[in-house]
A and B are shown apart, each in its own frame.
Chain A
């Protein structure tokens, strides 16, 4: 079972990211669960969501405690090291939203970086990071083939918005780098 924790702030699409990945995993024939954490829902407040993916049915229904992967959608949260590495497995993966050449100290973890800010401004014209970050997650870990994510995305968007987001996903997938 792969357990993922998403970090971001209200309004950045943290819940949407976890939902899209879950649907993609289900379309890929896996069992997956998306668990949102609804606290005080305010734009800008730190928000978390959890995704579990397995080949077997998943019976457990509680928040992810020891993620294999942490995705930090909000660039500012990268500085909150204890918050984002809490419970992360020893060989855990962290995917951050940050220019790939910018130094970062998250010693002991496998850190992948993607400049989701650049991608979202280029492709969407607005700093909406979620699609580029899911793309980066799949690029770094290859846990689900990209086509299923696009299928999940097609359920949600259409027309030019869909096209733009698919481009953002593909760029995230390709531009993510191990740092």
Chain B
């Protein structure tokens, strides 16, 4: 966003954001205090975590297994709360 103009004359009309998908630039993964850890052996591929994640930070793979995208995961813990087999656990973020 730093490249955006600071003069009202040059600003896009009504602040319209002309670049689609600019939210990808926000790496919200740095916001985490706790992080989800996935235990694939407990996972039954039900997709509940994928459905519930408010940041679309769970990737659904070809074979319906899931993985966590730590670039965007904010660490809210919803996936761990919803997982029926406790295949996700929230642990302290270190480093």
- Asked whether any CB of A lies within 8 Å of a CB of B in the complex, the reply is no
Chain A interface (Cβ < 8 Å from any Cβ of B): none
Chain B interface (Cβ < 8 Å from any Cβ of A): none
